[in-house]
Chain A
Amino acid sequence: MAAWSSGHIYQALAWAHSRQMSDSQDHYRRQLDRIVEMSRDFGASGLDVAMRHEIALAAEIQSRLRSAHADGRSPLLGVTLPAQDISGDFFEIVERSDGLTAFAIGDVAGKGVEAARLMALCSSLYRQKATEEPSPGRLLCQMNQALCRAGLPDGSFVTMIAGLFDAASGCALLANAGHEPALLGRRDGRFQAFGAAVPPLGIAEELIARPVPEDFLALAGGCLYLFTDGLTEADGQGPAMGEQELRRLILDAAQLPLALRAEALLGRLVLPGAAPRDDLTLLLVEDRRRPLLSRRVVLNAQGLEANRHAVRTVCVAAGMSGDLQDELILAVDEACQNILRHGYGGAGEVVLEILLDGRRVAVQLIDFAPHVDMMALPLRDPDELRPGGLGLHFIRSVMDEVDWPPPPPGAGNLLRMSKFLP
């Protein structure tokens, strides 16, 4: 009895079916119906032929569906090039109802139908959980539990990165279970790698008994590159790509639109028309904002002066007037001071970003202190003479808009303030 039964193919197709674009729904429904008919017509002896057919079809659907993401609008793009008919690699992109985008990349140990079966299981598990569970670390922990209870064949396991992206703030949360490090390509040409915090999924439940530790990333206008080891694994045949070469390629392609960039990276490994030597999957998460300043520091009172200096430098470079510089500096300084005093009670990490959006200069300030409901605080009457409590009044006086929207996942508080340029 083959481990890959028709049921699994239906599962894979149903999963594929559920995610395709609405304008091609009929096409995929017809294909699905055809497979159901085929399975009725063939006896046990005919299953091999049918399965080959189905697998080829599933592979085609997979590749078509995945290319559907390359519409140029989404800041996320995934590409899979299967080495065989169907891949053990997978990626997922899930738009959540809270406006965040959940994403994942995974690599099932092994090749062929068994790996594909596991891949389909992981994909459907992930898609089911990603709409409900915001924390990538908890999600991976739950997936490990589910995979272990499902009983993977001995020696099978899944390496996987799960993430959550907030396009509005340019921030992402990542959890990595045994997978290749994710690479954050920054706008200044430097890279930051985010490696695995725990072993792969599916080996033993107790190996990932608690939520996988998460990394908080401020993409700061950069791009996050997730890939499977097909991209960097050398097999001694042809132009294997080492991590250094991958970084160089990323830099070379950094100015290209997302889809062309992915093509450029994959194109170095696969000759046109030829099948890759190993499954290749690439998932890109791009922050399309272009901050003038992105500063992530552990701040204390002594660090406020350097912070003001950094703000001054970008304001000068952007050609802002002296008055405007002073106002922005005061607002940022008072906001940071509030975080240090009321959030951290001393020192703590902040991410400060300044963006120019047409005639509007916008400040984004993120901290990791316990959540403070700033909207619930009473406004100070500036005519009331007492020390303290002036900071918020200053911020509201010099800025045109001040808001505390829900913070990006993994952060404590988010302050947004902006000012319209004259």
Chain B
Amino acid sequence: MTMSLTIERRGQIALVRLGGEIDLSNSMEIRREISACLQDRWDVVVDLAAVGYIDSSGLAGLVEGYQLAKRYGIRFALAAVSPAALRVLKLARLDTVFALFDDVEGALAP
């Protein structure tokens, strides 16, 4: 499966870079990684620039991240959302829920 996931630490922020196709076969892994960062109380920025496809199970992982961050009182943001991912976010009316940034640098800025 052509999904990529990397995590970089930038100060207090975990920058999660996702790429490729996100679906039922790999969304659990993404959920696990994002929750682990949040449970360690890192702010999380998810870079979606290289996402070619994301399904409802992938979105569910992002929603879970949003809810956890809210509970812990920390930041959870999406950055550089690709057109493919934005289309699905809009379908789910989640584009108004998440903090969206045009680029990663904007999301990382204090």
Contact = CB atoms under 8 A, between A and B. Distances in A.
Nearest to B90: A397
A383 B93 contact: yes
B92 A390 contact: yes
**Chain A contact residues (Cβ within 8 angstroms of B): what range?**
20 to 34
A304 B54 CA distance: 12
A304 B61 contact: no
Contact of B63 (A304, A337, A385, A397): A385
Interface string A276-316: 00000000000000000000000011101100100000000
Contact of B91 (A300, A386, A397): A397
A337 B53 contact: no
B35 to A, nearest CB: 11
A386 B92 CA distance: 11
A387 B61 CA distance: 7
A387 B97 CA distance: 13
A382 interface: yes
Contact of B1 (A302, A393, A397): A302
Name the residue in B23, B60, B88, B94 with the highest tally of chain A Cβ atoms < 10 Å from its Cβ.
B23
Interface residues of B, number: 25
A337 B1 contact: no
Contacts of B60: 387-388, 390
A52 interface: no
Contacts, number: 66
B9 interface: no
Contacts of A201: none
Contacts of A387: 59-61, 63-64, 67
Nearest to B92: A390
B23 A391 contact: no
Nearest to A303: B25
B55 interface: yes
Contacts of A334: 55-56
A92 to B, nearest CB: 45
Contacts of B25: 300-302, 304-305
A334 B91 CA distance: 13
9 contacts: A302-B25, A304-B23, A333-B23, A385-B63, A386-B63, A390-B56, A390-B92, A394-B56, A398-B91
